[in-house]
Structure 1
């Protein structure tokens, strides 16, 4: 069977590079590169991508072996209908490994066609690394690499870029810009360069949403037979996507995603969209990881098929989360129903073990603000969120891979391990401000409710605890 390459597919159009992409993983290829392909098909962008490998070990070599071609599969439910499609993506022109050819990387700064920089270097990518220096080839961190490229661009006397990070941290554009300025100061690049950064470049925070499980290892050979070519870089994704970009409206002219019919919003205020996504999609995911894994459920779809756990998630969304948000209720309920359709996607085996990674920081960011706001508004502990916290304490205390593995930073796991065998386990953990950023025992009634939930899980099992939470009558806003 022929491997995917331009010798196999000869009629695909290529355009000059207009975007640099830091990262070559499944998400960016199925999100950014797929969207650029849709614009190009409509003659709206007529630009390609140069990928920069963000880590020493990466996929640029593998991509080169397929002439930077790969297939994006869309599988899932959309508007109540099943969607199954695949498309060869030709929007990536080439790739550069800065660890092997740093000069080629810096040369990108001299290309007048390039106007955009996208990135997804994981949540840990937008960080300041003290040891990075301008003389490094390359520096360690992504922001330091970017600063070096921007300085090269400045020295060449050229226009700056629209810089749109996709990392899943709050205010990612602002955070990246602050670190770039920090490197500029440390490296003493001068006031003129700092001024150029401000006036010639636009750092945009963005919110991305598309579930991309990645390479369908279990079915890849079946697809090769069906399509007639071998592709070791298939990226599987759900049909749904939204990209919210906080920036000036002029972006829509140079990056006409909306004109291509894509679900993209350019706005001056990202926060309402971020709140909606984080609290109605990510927060229930974290609840599932904290509780459903204890019942042996492996996937998000498995949660939605289980009557007890589906009811728990449904009531958490409509009775605890939505009433705690300051967004139009009609918009929230519609979005929640859309999220549940995505959760039910029969083609998407979204593993709860993957969602469970770093559950403490995820609970802190996704569920704790809702818990606190619910208590403030209704003077009542939201029972399902509290039970999720009980499940988290069960998993992190035992740290037993046979039931549900705790996957987190060593220091975090150590805090739970040290406290677990104490009679004050719940109080000691909830009062740990290093973990939560606050003393949770000061939330009236929370320690007692979490302890009660933990005891019920340990004595009668997580399913009985979930059933008991479901029996509580709460107004459901649907």
Structure 2
């Protein structure tokens, strides 16, 4: 079977109704520089820009910078930077199946091998926008030399790009960029801007550049919301390939629901003209409501459920939602505990509506969202997504939240590494190893090797470096987490959850 490419498209005989690229897409100017090649970017921002190009309201392509060594960068070159996005799900009670061959990406550059070319893009007069998704740990301040080729960190790379642009245009205030990070951290644009300014000072860059950096460029806080799993499982990939009539190594599946909320004013709207292509691109002066609902309910539920569901024997979100017990846990933690704990003034009915919408998204029959993928950087996600909610729940209600406690105990058990290979720690589920991709994996491996579950619980909860708070100070929390953790070890995670629901049913009678 032929592979996806510009040359093969005219001969494709597909069983699906394909939306194909326009014939003049390759003539559009490169207006966007994107740091990251992941599926979330392809499934949301890049899709939106592709959609806008089709409607003639943006007319610009994306140069992608790949900073990591993992993954197959050559797939983009083999396919002329085309990729297929299969959109599947339910919207307004209607089944939706849409298939788009996206052509918004013009080229993919390796930061390590093609840094000079990246800097050349920085000096283009047509460049207007920077987009990024470098994972939740990508926006952090580290000591970095912006004159390296390339700098080590994402903020270092971005600062080098901006410095090259400043030099190329002699500090022209009209040549600044609109920078839209999509990393899932609160105030991502504000934090990125602060890091850029600090790095500029640490690198002793001249004062006029720092003034230009601050005044001519705009770092926007933003929020992306769309479930875009990784590569489809082999059976799904094979079935879609047969229907498409071509091979696509970048084949991406997403749900129908989509949201890109961007904090900005009218001038930002003018630059990000692609927002006209879809009502779910929202540019407003304040996006806190969107951020809180997604972060606390969708992402927070994912984080509190992933270890528990995975260790209960479920590999995907859909499998767990098809199980009465796990579905009850997921609904209970979201609607019963996370909503009351949202540390932001939110209308309860609006939060409930959002929560039910999220549960429908979790039940999407077309999405194979793997729990193991959700556990990546588990500790950082737990801190950012759930600890503020936990603290506010205690302040509001003053009681121990049963579902959150269960989810936290399962997190501790998931982090129990038994072996290490090639710098990766592995836990064990039913005799099969699973990878623990977490910056704290070594810390937990050490604790599990020498502490009892009770002592480990206390030690982890009092680690203010991890949580920003001593969680042992929350009445009853440590005792409950420890009790559940011991039960999970002795009787299994699924049986522990089952016992708790039996207990709740007994209390209700």
Fold similarity call, TM over 0.5 = yes
| RMSD, aligned CA | 2.5
Distance in 1 between the 2:303 and 2:391 partners? 17
Distance in 1 between the 2:351 and 2:183 partners? 24
Of residues 47-56 and 348-357 in structure 1, the stretch that sits farther from structure 2 once superposed is 47-56
Whether 1:116 and 2:129 are equivalent positions in the alignment is yes
- TM-superposed deviation, 1:62: 2.4
Gap change, CA 1:133 and 1:360, over 3 Å in 2:
closer
Structure 2 portions without partners, runs of 5+ = 11-21, 419-426
- TM-superposed deviation, 1:419: 5.1
Structure 1 portions without partners, runs of 5+ = 474-478
Gap change, CA 1:47 and 1:397, over 3 Å in 2:
closer
Gap change, CA 1:459 and 1:148, over 3 Å in 2:
closer
Q: 2:151 aligns with which of 139, 147, 162?
A: 139
Contact 1:398 1:420 in 2 (8 A): no
For residues 55-204 of structure 1, what are the structure 2 equivalents within 5 Å?
Answer: 55-56=68-69, 59-134=72-147, 136-157=148-169, 158=172, 159-204=175-220
Gap change, CA 1:319 and 1:41, over 3 Å in 2:
same
- TM-superposed deviation, 1:35: 0.5
Whether 1:213 and 2:222 are equivalent positions in the alignment is no
Whether 1:369 and 2:388 are equivalent positions in the alignment is yes
Distance in 2 between the 1:350 and 1:56 partners? 24
Q: 1:269 aligns with which of 255, 270, 286?
A: 286
Contact 1:72 1:87 in 2 (8 A): yes
- TM-superposed deviation, 1:105: 1.8
Q: Which residue of 1 aligns with 2:18?
A: none
Distance in 1 between the 2:394 and 2:453 partners? 28
Q: Which residue of 2 aligns with 1:476?
A: none
Gap change, CA 1:255 and 1:213, over 3 Å in 2:
same
Distance in 2 between the 1:76 and 1:224 partners? 19
Contact 1:288 1:300 in 2 (8 A): no
Q: 2:23 aligns with which of 9, 12, 15?
A: 12
Contact 1:21 1:49 in 2 (8 A): yes
For residues 264-343 of structure 1, what are the structure 2 equivalents within 5 Å?
Answer: 264-325=281-342, 326-343=345-362
Contact 2:141 2:155 in 1 (8 A): yes
- TM-superposed deviation, 1:420: 3.2
Contact 1:162 1:203 in 2 (8 A): yes
Whether 1:427 and 2:458 are equivalent positions in the alignment is yes
Give me the TM-score of the superposition, normalised by structure 2: 0.86
Gap change, CA 1:214 and 1:445, over 3 Å in 2:
closer
Distance in 1 between the 2:52 and 2:374 partners? 32
- TM-superposed deviation, 1:75: 1.8
Of residues 9-18 and 312-321 in structure 1, the stretch that sits farther from structure 2 once superposed is 9-18
Contact 2:52 2:58 in 1 (8 A): yes
Count of residues in correspondence between the two structures: 475
Contact 1:37 1:91 in 2 (8 A): yes
Of residues 190-199 and 371-380 in structure 1, the stretch that sits farther from structure 2 once superposed is 371-380
Of residues 208-217 and 375-384 in structure 1, the stretch that sits farther from structure 2 once superposed is 208-217
Gap change, CA 1:468 and 1:54, over 3 Å in 2:
same
Residues 317-348 of structure 1, C-alpha deviation per residue, up to 9 Å, x if partnerless? Answer: 12211122320112111111110011011111
Gap change, CA 1:369 and 1:272, over 3 Å in 2:
same
Gap change, CA 1:191 and 1:220, over 3 Å in 2:
same
Distance in 1 between the 2:500 and 2:177 partners? 51
Distance in 1 between the 2:211 and 2:186 partners? 25
Contact 1:50 1:94 in 2 (8 A): yes
Residues 44-77 of structure 1, C-alpha deviation per residue, up to 9 Å, x if partnerless? Answer: 1111111222234555432122111111111223
Q: Which residue of 2 aligns with 1:451?
A: 482
Distance in 2 between the 1:433 and 1:109 partners? 40
Residues 240-272 of structure 1, C-alpha deviation per residue, up to 9 Å, x if partnerless? Answer: 111111122332233234421241221222332
For residues 36-51 of structure 1, what are the structure 2 equivalents within 5 Å?
Answer: 36-51=49-64
Residues 71-128 of structure 1, C-alpha deviation per residue, up to 9 Å, x if partnerless? Answer: 1111223233332221111111223334333332222122222111111122232233
Q: Which residue of 1 aligns with 2:429?
A: 402
Q: Which residue of 2 aligns with 1:472?
A: 504
Contact 1:397 1:420 in 2 (8 A): no
Distance in 2 between the 1:461 and 1:110 partners? 58
- TM-superposed deviation, 1:192: 0.5
- TM-superposed deviation, 1:141: 1.8
Of residues 14-23 and 122-131 in structure 1, the stretch that sits farther from structure 2 once superposed is 122-131
Q: 2:377 aligns with which of 341, 346, 358?
A: 358
Gap change, CA 1:243 and 1:216, over 3 Å in 2:
same
Of residues 395-404 and 287-296 in structure 1, the stretch that sits farther from structure 2 once superposed is 395-404
Residues 445-475 of structure 1, C-alpha deviation per residue, up to 9 Å, x if partnerless? Answer: 21222233234334444334323433538xx
Distance in 2 between the 1:367 and 1:419 partners? 27
- SS of the aligned residue for 1:76 comes to strand
Whether 1:25 and 2:25 are equivalent positions in the alignment is no
Distance in 1 between the 2:113 and 2:416 partners? 44
Contact 1:24 1:58 in 2 (8 A): no
- TM-superposed deviation, 1:170: 2.2
